[in-house]
Amino acid sequence: MNDPEIQNIKQRFGIIGNSPLLNHAIEVASQVAPTDMTVLITGESGSGKESFSKIIHHLSARKHGKFIAINCGAIPEGTIDSELFGHEKGSFTGAHEARKGYFEVTNGGTIFLDEIGEMPLATQARLLRVLEYGEFIKVGSSKVQKTDVRVVAATNVNLLENVEKGKFRQDLYYRLNTVPIYVPALRERGSDIELLFRKFAADFSEKYKVKPLLLSDDAKIALTKYRFPGNIRQLKNLVEQISVLEINREITGEKLLKYIPSESSYLPTLYMQQSDREQAGLSERELLYKVLFDMRKDVNELKKLVHGMINEEILDQNGVEPASGEIFRNAQEPGIPGEIGQKPYVIDPSEQVYDFGNVEDITHETEQDESLSIEAKEKELIIKALRKNNNKRKYAALDLGISERTLYRKIKQFEIDD
């Protein structure tokens, strides 16, 4: 196909650009259009795949028939069969009347199945039957119906990888991929980015009644260096934003960079990246279950540790030394005149804090006659300290690592006779 014919197609369908990859895709689309061959269009999201499906339809003998574009990823799995092939009355809850599907109402026309990689496996089997034999069965019916529909499919994922993972039927892939068309990403189109920027700037200038934007030389360089993961859709939104917000219509590189997001903003926020999740074969629901089970396991292990520490002796008989980890903290006991220094004291059992840093995950055996009461242990230690210091509460409190006021309160609480 010569250049004038390609330019005519571009003008007719509003395609901007002159990159070799883009021209090749248009040439293949125009050549396959007069046939009834199934076409698979591949390319990143936002690269303009639907425009090529329209080229194929309007340059074919089916141009007077219906053209329907369907996003397979936007239809719930439970209703996609009904949407595509129709259903009979009463075939499922809510089916109050019979309904025609897209393959029935588009008979003689073209169906564009976008994001075909999101189609459920059961629906893929139904679609394969349509492609092979031109027939389908409505949901809830046993009657076979005929249809004459051309299918143009598109995807932004690698279907061969999905075939290897069991997410896409191999026979359907080769049936769809009769004629492949690759739509290049915006970053692969070189100077087309600047052409598209000027086109969108002119459109928004007319829409918002403002002067069109002008790019400086450094802004052009910055624009072409950006990867545009959102492709044409992202560029259009960018131009619209700048057209509305900027008073000065000449856009410098520095000003442009304020509107271009950093590459890091496109990194996934989940703890596992999408590629890792696919490699592990985990869906988002399975990941949530995994997190919940891990949390339950951690809670159970924590319970073991706490019970084990409670069953141990917190202090040994030779002084103030916790059985597992330091449980003292430096603080001033409020309300005691003259006590300004940082004296250690034992935390009350009701608010005791444990350090699990060096605690092993083991279950401690306790003897039948061992007391499990912390208060009993505490009372026993206070009595020992008082006897050791000849009932001098000040020194007993120092040995115990508590304030004298706390010791007074404990003696009264446990009814200890001096």
Same domain, 111 and 258: no
- The bridge status of strand 135-137 relative to strand 144-146 is antiparallel
Higher local confidence (pLDDT), 247 or 394: 247
- Judge whether residue 317 has pLDDT over 80: no
Q: What are phi and psi of 352, to 5 degrees?
A: -70, 140
Residue where a domain terminates, one of 141, 156, 184: 184
Higher local confidence (pLDDT), 374 or 278: 374
pLDDT of residue 395: 83
pLDDT digits (tens, 9 = 90+) for 193-236: 999 999 999 999 999 999 999 999 999 999 999 999 999 999 99
pLDDT of residue 413: 84
Q: Are 149 and 105 in contact (CB under 8 A)?
A: no
Residue 304 and residue 150: Cα distance in Å, rounded?
65
Residue 413 and residue 410: Cα distance in Å, rounded?
5
Beta bridge partners of 41: 154, 181
Where residue 390 sits, what CATH number does that domain have? 1.10.10.60
Same domain, 202 and 349: no
Structural domains of the chain, count:
3
Same domain, 151 and 166: yes
> Is the overall model pTM greater than 0.85, yes or no?
no
Same domain, 80 and 40: yes
Residue where a domain terminates, one of 184, 219, 242: 184
Same domain, 174 and 204: no
Q: Name the one residue in this structure whose structure tokens are 């169906």.
A: 111
Residue where a domain terminates, one of 184, 210, 239: 184
- List the domain range (segments joined by +) for residue 329: 312-414
Q: How far is CA 326 from CA 286, 313, 329, in A?
A: 40, 13, 8
Coil, helix or strand for 206? helix
Q: Are 148 and 107 in contact (CB under 8 A)?
A: yes
Residue 418 and residue 411: Cα distance in Å, rounded?
9
pLDDT digits (tens, 9 = 90+) for 346-356: 444 444 444 44
